[in-house]
Amino acid sequence: MDAALERAVSFGRETFRPSALLLSGGMDSNLLNTYLEPDYPKFHLALEQDAEPMLPQRNLQRVPLRQTDFMAVLRRAVANFGSATRMSSLVMYQQLADAIGDAGYHCVLLGEGADELFWGYPRHVALWRQGAAPAPREFCRAWFGDYAAKAELLAPDVGRALVARIDALGDSALQGGSEAAIDGFDRRYSLEPLLRRADHLLMSRTIEARTPYLHAGVPALAGAAPRIVDGLAKAPLSALLQRRLPAWRYQPKRHFRLPFSHWPQVVEAMRRYLSAHGESLRQLGLVNLTPETLTTIDAAQLFTLTTLSFWQQEYEVAL
């Protein structure tokens, strides 16, 4: 694994244009950083009221993202992504892309793929602890959340059909066993959207994304050893990082997403916006998105609906 990652990082940084690393406080990008010289340029997103613990770094540029930036950056991000989404990291990537582009870089190394290949998300640990194969709906909820409840915004017949279709996807995937089902769902419903997000938003500033974890034979090694050991996710990567960076201390997975619980100003801004634009979403098919509903739905769903409204406006969508 060590040699494969070293090759992957070496391949990824080969370019005649200025390149950098996207560095968070998490395991994946910090492991990539151990294969780079200390002065290699790095960018880190600094969220207002949600500082992430970081080891001391040289040549690190912190990119601030504040609550007051949110709506304008989100509208730009939806236009570049070309779709509605529930990934709040869309805003974070747009802010990073703009800062990296303004600084004159045209190539960045990313940690994408590590969580899917090496089972780094809480859902992986939960399914691992469960042991026996879950029911299809329970399995699908690990990726899509409570989709049956969300479908209640649709007309009853449409909502039932959508839920049945997702249930069938889970049932079909589980026919091949839990591990194969997890890997298949991760590739299709986690990794693919994340890569598309990175590609669209970075390329909006002519920045090429390089993903070392997906090259140089690393994916083939992912399942060669237990991915979860004693309840700890990404065990092979954790052990390798401990050897290469003794100062590193294992910490639970921190999702790359907006901290809505710390951003009440943003939550209220989305609620106000949707209250003013709810009728257009009802015309799209969300027939049960009433003013009363908008006062109770959570921040994650508010975000998804806001991106849907922005997408509708940007592309004049009529479904």
CA distance 202 to 126: 33
With vertex at residue 66, the alpha carbon angle to CA 61 and CA 64, rounded to the nearest 5 degrees, is 0
| Amino acid 253: pLDDT | 75
pLDDT-based confidence at 318, cuts 50/70/90? low
Q: What is the residue whose two structure tokens read 């090496």?
A: 118
Q: What is the residue whose two structure tokens read 């992957």?
A: 8
| Amino acid 317: pLDDT | 60
Assess whether pLDDT exceeds 90 at residue 174: yes
Assess whether pLDDT exceeds 90 at residue 109: yes
**What percentage of residues in the chain have a pLDDT greater than 70?**
99
Residues 249-261 have a mean pLDDT of 83
Over residues 110-161, the pLDDT tens digits come to: 999 999 999 999 999 999 998 888 999 999 999 999 999 999 999 999 999 9
Over residues 26-43, the pLDDT tens digits come to: 899 999 999 999 999 999
| Amino acid 292: pLDDT | 92
Show the tokens assigned to 92. Answer: 């974070």
Residues 255-279 have a mean pLDDT of 93
CA distance 138 to 255: 21
pLDDT-based confidence at 248, cuts 50/70/90? confident
| Amino acid 31: pLDDT | 96
* 211 in Cβ contact with 108 (< 8 Å): no
179-186: which pairs have CB atoms within 8 A and are 24 or more residues apart?
Answer: 179/223, 181/133, 181/139, 182/119, 182/124, 182/127, 183/116, 183/223, 185/139, 185/140, 185/143, 186/116
| Amino acid 234: pLDDT | 92
pTM to 2 decimal places: 0.91
What's the burial of 313, exposed, middle or buried (CB within 10 Å: 0-12/13-18/19+)?
middle
Q: Residue 166: which of 190, 130, 139, 187 has the closest Cα?
A: 139
Q: 21: which strand partners?
A: 42, 109
CA distance 85 to 305: 8
**What percentage of residues in the chain have a pLDDT greater than 90?**
83
Lowest-confidence pick of 42-51, 177-186, 247-256 = 247-256
Over residues 195-232, the pLDDT tens digits come to: 999 999 999 999 999 999 999 999 999 988 899 998 89
Output the CA–CA distances (angstroms, integers) from residue 138 to 108, 112, 133, 145, 167, in the order listed. Answer: 37, 26, 10, 9, 9
| Amino acid 95: pLDDT | 96
Strand 42-47 and strand 208-210: the pairing is: unpaired
CA distance 20 to 314: 31
Over residues 67-88, the pLDDT tens digits come to: 999 999 999 999 999 999 999 9
With vertex at residue 122, the alpha carbon angle to CA 251 and CA 218, rounded to the nearest 5 degrees, is 80
CA–centroid distance for 279 within its chain: 29
Tell me the longest C-alpha to C-alpha distance in the chain: 58
CA distance 166 to 278: 26
Residues 10-19 have a mean pLDDT of 90
